[in-house]
Structure 1
Amino acid sequence: MVASAEAVAVVVIVTGLLQVGFYVFQLLFAAIALSTRPPVPRGATLWRRYSDQAPPISLLAPAFNEELTVVESVRSLLALHYPHFEVLLINDGSKDGTLARVIDAFGLQRVERYIDDRLEHANIRGFYANPALPRLLVIDKQNGGKADALNAGINCCRTPLFCAIDADSILETDALLRVVRPFIDDPNLTIAAGGTIRIANGCIIDSGRVVRIHLPRNFLALVQIMEYLRAFLMARLALGKMQVLTVISGAFGLFRRQEVVEVGGYSHGTVGEDMELVLKLHRHMRDLKRPYRIDFIAEPVCWTECPEDAKVLGRQRSRWQRGALECFAKHKSMAFNPRYGRIGFLGFGQILLVDVVGPLIEVFGYLLVPLLYALGLLALPWLLAFLAVTFTFGVFVSVATLILEEVQLRRFPRARDLAVLTFVAVVENFGYRQLSNFWRLQGWWQFVRKQQSWGTMTRKGFGSAASS
C-alpha cells in the first residue's frame, strides 16, 4: 500500500513539476521576446511608418444577443486609426434588440452585397449600410454559431486580411497598426497574428474607449486579470517566439484570408473554433511544406468584459476546456509527429500537459495526496513536495508574470493596483485554482458526453464597467 501511495504521489508531483518547468521556460522566452523587441512607437509614428504599406483589413465582429454593448463596440471599431479597413458586424440571429439598436444608432438601410460561396454558413437574410458610413456593413443571418458567423463574414469581406473580434470587445485605437506589423515585415511568410486581451471590468469607458484603467472590485474579475496576464503575456508571447503558437484568441486575431479559405474556414461542431483554425493552418502549411509564420504581438490590446458571476465563469471555463479537448482529439495525429516539427512536439506537448492531463492529475492529487498522508501511507516529505509544487510554484509563476508586465509594458498606472494584483496572485492559489480545476473537470465530462452547447453568457455592458 505504501508503494502504491508513493507511486500516486510521484505521478502527481512529476506532472506538476513538468508544468512548472514549462511555465518557467515560457517566462524566459517571454522575457527574451519583450526585451529584444523593437522600440514601441507611438500611434502617430506608427501611422507615418505604416500608412503607405498597411494592407486593407476587414474587421469581422459576430454578435449574438449583444444589445448592451454592440453600439459602443461598433463606434470604437469605426474610430480605429488605420488607413484602409471596413467593419462587418455579423448579427447571428440575435433574439434581443441587437440588430434594431445598430440600425437605429447608425441610420442603416437595406443594401445588396456580393457573397463568395467557398465557405459554408447559414442563410444570410440581408445587408444593412449607410452611404455616410462606408466602412460599416451589417450582415443579418440565421443563427449558426460563432464559427458560422465568421465564415459568413469571410465570404463577404473584400480584403486580403481579416481581423476576427468579439462584438462585446473594444480595440485600442492603434491596435490594428500594431498587430499588422508582422504582415508588413514578413508579407510572404506571415499568415496569422494575435494581440493581447485585457479585462475592461472596473475601467472607465467613454465613447467606446478605455479612458482610464482601474481594477474591478469583484474578486473573480481580479483573478481573471492575473489569468489573462499569464495566458497572453507569458504563454502566448513565449509560444509565438518559439513559433509553436496553437491558439489565437477569437476576441482579437488577424489572418490572411487566402490560407483560411484554403483550410475551409472556421469549423462547425466545436466550441474551440479559434484554436482549431490555428491548428488547421499549421497542419495545412506543414503538409504543403510551405514556410510560414504565426506570431503574437504583446502591444496591441483588445479590452473585453469578463464574467463576475461564478456560474457564468464556470460555464465559460468548462467550454474552453471542452474546446481544447475537441481540438486535441481532432488533430491528435499531429502530436509528436516528426512531420509537423516543433508544433507537433512543443505545441501539442503543451496542450497535452496543460489542457488534457493537467486538470485530471491535479484534482486527483488534491483528493488523494492529503488523504494518503492522513492515513499514514505517505511520509511528510511527499506531502511537502506536493504542497510546494501546487502552491509555492503557482505563486512564483503569477508574481513573476506580474513583474514582467510592470518592467516591460507598465499597463497599471498606480502602485496600489500592483499591490492588489500581487495579493491576488498569492491568494488565487488557495481556493480559486481548485475551483477552476473543478470547472475544467466539468469540461472533460461535457467532452466525453459530446455536449456542444455554449451556455448563456450574461454581461453588464461597458456602461457599468466603472462601478463593477
Structure 2
Amino acid sequence: MVLIILVYGAMLLLSLFQIRKSYQLDDYEPYEDLLHSEETKPVSILVPAYNESVGINSSIRSLLSIEYPEYEIIIINDGSKDDTLEKLIEKFKCQKINRVIRKQIVTKQVKAVYRSTIYTNLVVIDKENGGKADALNAGINCSSYPYFCSLDGDSIIERSAFLKVLKPIIESDDEVIASGGSIRIANGCKIENGEIVETGLSKKPLVIMQVVEYLRAFLTGRVGLSHNNLLLIVSGAFGVFSKKWVVEAGGYAHTVGEDMELVVRLHRLIKEKKVNKKIVYVPDPVCWTEAPESIKFLRRQRKRWHRGLFDSLWKHRKLMFNPKYGSIGLVSMPYFFFIEFLGPLIELIGYILLGVSVITGSIYIEYAIIFFLLSLIYGSIYSMASVLLEEWSMERYTKVRHFVALFFVSLTETLWYRPMTVLWRVEGMVEMLFGKKGWGEMVRKGVSND
C-alpha cells in the first residue's frame, strides 16, 4: 500500500505541474498558426470498422470537419457482417477505383477500394476479415502520407484535436515518432452532425464511474509517464504514428492489445538502434468514444484489456530489468508488470484473506478498519484529484451538476466499482492461462443524436 501510494502520488504531482504548465503555454500559442505552417505534416486517418453500422457515419462526419490543412480518411471495412459497407457507399456516394496498394505489411486480401465522389479525401477499403491489427496494417499499406492516425469506428473527434496531437511531432524535427491524445466518454453528450455540441454525463453510475476512471488514467497516469519518455500505451482509439517507424517495426501484431504491443515494440526498436526518439502523450486533444453501459460488456472489455496487457509484457519480456533498454526496461516494464498486471491479483488475495481473518477471528478489527479507511480515503482523493485536474485545466465539463456528480460518484469507487474491476481483471488472468484469444462481441448502441 505504501509503495502504491508513493508511486501514484508522485505521478499525480508530476501530472499536476505538467498539465498546468502546458495549459498556461497553450493560452499564448494559438494552434491556428499550424494550419498555415509549411512544417505541418499531412496525415492519413485510419478507421478500422467491423460491424460499426450504428456509429460510423457520425464518426466520418466529425473527421470531415476537422481543422487540418492536408489529410486523407481511410475507412477499412474488415469483413463486417452488418451493413457497414453498404451505408458508407450510399451515404458518401462511393465508387470503386483502381488504386495501387504498396504491400509493405502482409495482410488479408483487399477485395475492393472505393472513393467518395463527394469528398475526394475519403477512401473505403473492403477486405477479408482479419481483426483490428490486420485492418490497420491494410490501411497503412494504402495510406499516402508519412504519418497516420488510428481511430476507432465509433469515435467523435474534436475539430482542433489533430492540430494539438500533431504539435509535438511538427515541432520536434522528427524526434517524436508517436503521439497520443485523451479519450473521453461520449455517453450523455449531445452530438449533431458528427460533432460534440454539448458536453454531458450519462445518468448511469456505471458510466459516470468510467468517466472518472478515464480522467485518472489519462490526466495523471499517462502525463506522468510521458514526461520521462516512459509511456508504453498510446490508445488505439486516438494515436498518431510515423509510418516509416511502424513499417520498420513490422506493423501491428495480431494480439489482443495491439496498440500497447506496438508502442513497446517501437521503444524496443529505438533502444536497439540507439537513436533519440520519443513517444509522447498530449492531454488536451480529445477523442470522444462510446463506453459500455452494461456490466456484461464492461466486464468483457476489462478482461480483454488485462489479457492484452500481459500479451505485450510477455512478448517483450526480454526488456524487463534489462539495462540495455534504459528506463523502459528498468522502470516502465516493472511498473506495468508489478503494479498494473499483478496489482489486481494481490488486491483480490487481500480481500479474501481479510474475509477469512474476520471469520476465524485472527485479525485486529481496529487495524483492519484503519487500513480500510486509509484505502478508501486515498482512492477517493486520487480519483477526485483527477476530476479537479480536468476542471482546472481542460474545463470540458462546464455544468456544476456534472462536477458534483463526478465528485460524489468517485467517493464511492472503493466500495463497489474497484472490487468489481479487480475481480474482472483477475478473470482475465485466468482466461490468459487457459489460452483464450480474441476480442469477444461488443454491441454498440450508438451515441449520436442525429
Is the TM value for this pair above 0.5? yes
CA contact (8 A) 2:182 2:282 kept: yes
Counterpart of 1:249 in 2: which secondary structure?
A: coil
- After TM superposition, the structure 1 = structure 2 runs for residues 251-266 of structure 1, keeping only pairs within 5 Å, are 251-266=237-252
Pick one of 331, 340, 344 that aligns with 1:346: 331
Of 257-266 and 334-343, more deviation after overlay is shown by 334-343
Give me the TM-score of the superposition, normalised by structure 2: 0.97
Residue type of the alignment partner of 1:105:
K
| Equivalence for 2:348 | 363
- After TM superposition, the structure 1 = structure 2 runs for residues 210-225 of structure 1, keeping only pairs within 5 Å, are 210-225=196-211
CA contact (8 A) 2:194 2:448 kept: no
Q: Distance in 2 between matches of 1:190 and 1:362?
A: 37
Q: Distance in 1 between matches of 2:331 and 2:430?
A: 26
| Pairwise CA distance, 1:233 | 0.7
Please state if 1:445 is matched with 2:430.
yes
| Pairwise CA distance, 1:429 | 1.3
Counterpart of 2:89 in 1: which secondary structure?
A: helix
| Equivalence for 2:218 | 232
- After TM superposition, the structure 1 = structure 2 runs for residues 278-317 of structure 1, keeping only pairs within 5 Å, are 278-317=263-302
Q: Distance in 2 between matches of 1:430 and 1:138?
A: 46
Change (3 A) 1:355 1:422: same
CA contact (8 A) 1:267 1:277 kept: yes
Residue type of the alignment partner of 1:189:
E
Of 108-117 and 253-262, more deviation after overlay is shown by 108-117
CA contact (8 A) 1:19 1:353 kept: no
Residue type of the alignment partner of 1:242:
N
Q: Distance in 2 between matches of 1:86 and 1:310?
A: 37
Pick one of 124, 141, 144 that aligns with 1:138: 124
Counterpart of 1:214 in 2: which secondary structure?
A: coil
Please state if 1:267 is matched with 2:289.
no
| Pairwise CA distance, 1:48 | 2.6
Pick one of 37, 53, 63 that aligns with 1:77: 63
Q: Distance in 1 between matches of 2:418 and 2:347?
A: 10
CA contact (8 A) 2:235 2:260 kept: yes
Could you report, residue by residue, the CA deviation over 1:215-247 in whole angstroms, capped at 9, with x for unpaired residues? 111111101000100111111111111210000
Please state if 1:433 is matched with 2:418.
yes
- After TM superposition, the structure 1 = structure 2 runs for residues 173-252 of structure 1, keeping only pairs within 5 Å, are 173-252=159-238
Counterpart of 1:94 in 2: which secondary structure?
A: coil
| Pairwise CA distance, 1:284 | 0.2
Q: Distance in 1 between matches of 2:396 and 2:345?
A: 35
CA contact (8 A) 2:35 2:68 kept: no
| Equivalence for 2:36 | 51
Counterpart of 2:232 in 1: which secondary structure?
A: coil
Q: Which of structures 1 and 2 has the larger relative contact order (alpha carbons within 8 angstroms, sep 6+)?
A: 1
The alignment's C-alpha RMSD in Å is 1.5
| Pairwise CA distance, 1:35 | 2.1
Q: Distance in 2 between matches of 1:453 and 1:389?
A: 38
Q: Distance in 2 between matches of 1:454 and 1:188?
A: 34
Counterpart of 1:301 in 2: which secondary structure?
A: strand
Please state if 1:33 is matched with 2:26.
no
Counting aligned pairs with the same residue, the percent is 40
Change (3 A) 1:351 1:389: farther
- After TM superposition, the structure 1 = structure 2 runs for residues 379-394 of structure 1, keeping only pairs within 5 Å, are 379-394=364-379
| Pairwise CA distance, 1:382 | 4.0
Could you report, residue by residue, the CA deviation over 1:116-152 in whole angstroms, capped at 9, with x for unpaired residues? 2121111100001124311100000000000000000
Counterpart of 2:435 in 1: which secondary structure?
A: coil
Residue type of the alignment partner of 1:140:
D
| Pairwise CA distance, 1:335 | 1.3
Could you report, residue by residue, the CA deviation over 1:48-105 in whole angstroms, capped at 9, with x for unpaired residues? 3443221000000000000001111111111111001000000000000000000000
Q: Distance in 2 between matches of 1:336 and 1:429?
A: 32
Of 251-260 and 347-356, more deviation after overlay is shown by 347-356
- Can you give the 5+ residue segments of structure 2 that lack an aligned partner in the other structure? none
Pick one of 103, 110, 125 that aligns with 2:89: 103
| Equivalence for 1:10 | none
Aligned residues: 448
Give me the TM-score of the superposition, normalised by structure 1: 0.93
Could you report, residue by residue, the CA deviation over 1:390-417 in whole angstroms, capped at 9, with x for unpaired residues? 3221111101111122112211101111
- Can you give the 5+ residue segments of structure 1 that lack an aligned partner in the other structure? 1-15
Q: Distance in 2 between matches of 1:342 and 1:144?
A: 35
Residue type of the alignment partner of 2:436:
Q
CA contact (8 A) 1:183 1:191 kept: yes
Q: Distance in 2 between matches of 1:71 and 1:456?
A: 21
Could you report, residue by residue, the CA deviation over 1:20-64 in whole angstroms, capped at 9, with x for unpaired residues? 221111101111211222522599x42234432210000000000
Of 203-212 and 452-461, more deviation after overlay is shown by 452-461
Counterpart of 1:452 in 2: which secondary structure?
A: coil
Counterpart of 1:133 in 2: which secondary structure?
A: coil
Pick one of 407, 410, 431 that aligns with 2:392: 407
